[in-house]
Amino acid sequence: MAKKLKIGIVGGTGYTGVELLRLLVLHPHAELAVITSRGDAGLPVAELFPSLRGLVSLKFSDPTTADLTSCDVVFFATPHGVAMSQAQTLLAANVKIIDLAADFRLQDTATFEHWYKMPHSCADILKDAVYGIPELYRDDIKKASVIGNPGCYPTTVILGLTPLLELGLIDFSAPIVADCKSGVSGAGRKAEVATLFAESSDNMKAYGVMGHRHHPEIHAQLSKLAGDKLDLIFVPHLIPMIRGMLSTIYVKLNTTAKAADLQALYEKRYANEPFVDVLPAGNMPETRYVRGSNQLRIALQPQLGTDYLTIVVVQDNLVKGAAGQAVQNMNILFGLDESCGLQVVPLLP
């Protein structure tokens, strides 16, 4: 591609916004054109984020006056509700939309309105939006105009279970249990008592136990893959680290699964996926194995003497769980190499 893609980012001051900037600034086919911020309009991006000094010369634009219609693609790293308020105007100008919030993740508007406490303002656009997990919906993403970038927890749970669901290997007489843990950056870049250092450091807690917004998203995608009704228990936890996510998933296997080589099944399913790595039998992933990268790593462990399988999945919640997956979707949308701009080696230590 000779001509670079003109990129707009709405909400460039949050953690997913700056992560998009980190990945896109060195992307060979991307040109940062507009970066908006309601609170920091006029401020040089590199002044707020010195890590980008010498790389980004733009200033933040006021979202009320910024011209996003001149972009090829606009990323929304914003609170829920912002993308759908601007979608009609952007689509009329033939601009692709990748929303990192929940506006286009749930096809059922009643479910969206129940969990997000706001009306869905563009159901006509929603019906054509594509849920952006490339490993599942790559062909649909290629033809899409609007991508609902998946939530961080859902990415780990869905990809952790896909091979079993596709082949009908789960016994749904028992619920699927997803015990998930995320670093504090998953709460966003805002001032909150719960994420103060003295509150979150040296501490661990479950939250959203009575119901978390990612539950209906996970349940909808798992049910779609299974073609059947299923029960899901999903409990997220906050762990005292900045970035990283580890999900431990427990499933009951059916009779067919007991005769299958599950390790080989997973390795075959993800053999051609550049960002999903199935670890050798007996190895367990750690969050540091993926830190700063778009990699998602999976391990399997049968529970001896039972019909249950434990699946452990790790990812960087800000990369494969958010901005990295968004860039991966952009690459697919515009016919680029899917790994372009995402070949980042995890940081260790």
Q: Catalytic residues, which ones?
A: 152
Residues 6+ apart with CB under 8 A from 293: 316, 319, 320, 324, 344, 345, 346, 347
Number of residues assigned to the chain: 349
Q: What does the alpha-carbon distance between residue 192 and residue 210 come to, in Å, rounded to a whole number?
A: 21
Q: What stretches of the chain adopt beta strand conformation (E)?
A: 5-10, 30-36, 73-76, 96-99, 130-131, 146-148, 176-182, 205-206, 232-238, 245-252, 276-278, 296-302, 308-315
Cβ proximity of 290 and 348 under 8 Å: no
Cα Rg of the chain (Å, integer) = 20
- Read off the amino acid at residue 64: T
C-beta of residue 285 within 8 angstroms of C-beta of residue 297: yes
Q: Is the peptide bond before 285 cis (omega within 30 degrees of 0)?
A: no
Amino acid at 134: P
**Can you read off the two tokens belonging to residue 291?**
């830190």
Question: What count of other Cβ atoms lies within 10 Å of the Cβ of residue 303?
Answer: 12
In which order are the strands placed within the sheet that holds 276-278? 205-206, 232-238, 176-182, 245-252, 308-315, 296-302, 276-278
Query: Residues 6 or more apart from 23 whose CB is under 8 A from it?
Result: 319, 323, 324, 327, 341, 342, 344
Query: What CA–CA distance (Å, rounded) separates 238 from 188?
Result: 13
Give the CA distances from residue 306 to residues 20, 231, 251, 302, in Å, rounded to whole numbers and listed in that order: 43, 20, 11, 8
How many alpha carbons lie under 13 Å from residue 164 in its C-beta half-sphere? 28
